[in-house]
Each structure stands twice: as C-alpha cells, then as structure tokens.
Structure 1
Amino acid sequence: METIIFCGIQATGKSTFYQQHFFHSHLRISLDLLKSRYREDLFLKACYKSQLPFVVDNTNPGKVDRLKYIQLAKQHKFRSIGYYFQSHIEDALQRNSRRSGKTCIPEIGIRGTFKRLEPPSPDEGFDELYYVTINDNSFVIKPWGYEI
C-alpha cells in the first residue's frame, strides 16, 4: 500500500498530475476539498483501515507538514512516496493567472507558501522520492537527485 505525498507551491501542477497519474488507482485527499483537518483525519483512517492507497494533494511545504503523513504511513506499513513539484515562483504565478474562480489563489498566498518551502529529503523517511517538472505542458518525473 502507498501513501503518496505531494509537495510544492500552488499552481505547480499537483492536482493535474494526480488526475493523469493516480486518478484510477489512489484516493485523493486534499484540504481544498475536505476543508478541515478533522475530515482529512477521517479519510486517512479510512484509507489505512481499508488498505486503500491514496495521494495527499496539498502543498506540504515544510518538513513538519510532511512528517505526519510519513509517520502514519510507517505505522500502518504503507510505503511513503514523495513527489516534489518544481516550484519557481514566477512560473506558478503565471499559471495561476490563467485560473478563474476559487481555483485562482491570491498572489500573497502563493508567495507565503513559497517562503515556507523546504524541499524534501530522503532522510525525512520517504521510501521513494521524485522530482517533477513541467516541460511543454507535460510532466517529467525524475528520481530525487538533489539538483534543486
């Protein structure tokens, strides 16, 4: 079983990546959808109890944000796999400007997340870690290589 943990600032392609790579195999857990940590915890418990693989589709910008999910994965004998989405602020702001309605994030929110961003590291406890970039509107996935 797998716990997939996304990390990166808003508008870096995380939700689109989920749709293209995990929609048919993993439940999506997102605070954008669930609106509270209480609801998130209920979904996490259900996934662990039912042995259902899932993706945590949040920004998870800091080590402390990811720690909860990694610890729970280990506790429940799930593999923890991290995907870090290249987080260039200007690219994210440009992509965000093409959004409308609730999907458009205030610039201050993106910049605030960027300030808190700590790229992940295998020593956080990930079983696997990947680096995701967008190239010509398609995703490029590379094994973690400390190239950030």
Structure 2
Amino acid sequence: MVTEESARPELTLVVLMGLQGAGKTSFTRARWPGGHVHVSKDHFPRRAKHKDARQERLIAAALGEGRSVVVDNTHPTALVRAPLVALGRAHGALVVGYCFVARVDECLARNRGRQGRLRVPDVAIFATARRFEAPSLAEGFDELHAVRLVAGEGFEVTAW
C-alpha cells in the first residue's frame, strides 16, 4: 500500500564526480530534467570569488526549502566532496554519488567539440585526472554509482 507519506520523493543531494567532458551535465539533463535544483560552478561568472561558499549557500538554500539538488562539478578528491556530504547530512538528505568513468582521451575529444565558455583548456582535464581520487562509501555517501557514456546509447549506470 502506498501512502501519501511514502509516495513523497525523498530529499536528495546528488554529487557528480568526474573529469571535464565525461558527460556530467548531459547526464543531469537526461536524468533529472527540472526535478532537482542544478548547481554548477560553470554557471557562476568566470572571475567570481568564493565559488565554494556560493555553491554551498545555493545548496543549503535549496535543501532548506525541501528541494533536492544535483551538484555538477568535478569533485576530484574526498576533501573537496566532504563539505557537500556534510551539508547533505545536516539537512537530512540522502547523499548519492555518481562517479563518471571515462578515459582522458575521451574527455579531451568531447571537450574539443564544445564552444566558448563550455570548452576548458586541455591542461584542466589532465590536472583533474592527476588529482582524482575514487569515491568511497566511507566518505559518508548513502549510495555510490558508476556512470559510463555509451556512444549512441546514452549512459550506463551501475553500482559502484
């Protein structure tokens, strides 16, 4: 039996992790078309100061309003992800991570197809790849998933 209480969607904080060009934004558009607040530093002015603090304020405001959030950035290390996990926990949200598994050459190729601000310097992809640490449930995630872009078919999501 489905009650009104059990039919309500759960408050969720989704943390995307992966190299630039791995498909994080495309995945967000396909998976949550308007259902979650989409927070990305890519939407901030290029020279904006205190991007992390601004991102955390936006996330806290949305979660405080009872709205689920997708955080769409590279999040390469556990140290970078920790404040987001803590923020989700503080608001009683389910914290779900999606780690994008992609080779550097694939990300470089996708990035070269981008125009204007969407394209990042190749060096940024190499730098993120060098720093990237695989996520772990020990970081405080409730769920972790691996995401792979499958040419012509969309995305394949599996348990981490």
TM-score by length of 1: 0.93
In the TM superposition, residue 48 of structure 1 has moved relative to its aligned partner by: 2.1
1:26 aligns with 2:36: yes
User: What is the aligned-residue RMSD (CA, Å)?
Assistant: 1.1
Count of matched residue positions in the alignment of Structure 1 and Structure 2: 144
State the match for 1:77 in structure 2. Answer: 92
| Deviation digits for residues 72-117 of structure 1 (CA, Å, limit 9, x no counterpart) | 1111110100000013111101111111111111001111111110
- Given that residues 34 and 40 in structure 1 are in contact (C-alpha distance below 8 angstroms), is that contact kept between their aligned partners in structure 2? no
- Listed as ranges, the matches of 1:92-111 within 5 Å are 92-111=107-126
Unaligned runs of 5+ in 1: none
Select the residue among 75, 79, 90 that pairs with 1:64.
79
- Listed as ranges, the matches of 1:1-148 within 5 Å are 1-35=11-45, 36-137=51-152, 138-144=154-160
- 1:3, 1:41 → 2: CA distance? 12
Unaligned runs of 5+ in 2: 1-10, 46-50
Please state whether the residue corresponding to 2:98 is helix, strand or coil: strand
TM-score by length of 2: 0.86
Displaced runs of 4 or more, over 6 A: none
Please state whether the residue corresponding to 2:67 is helix, strand or coil: coil
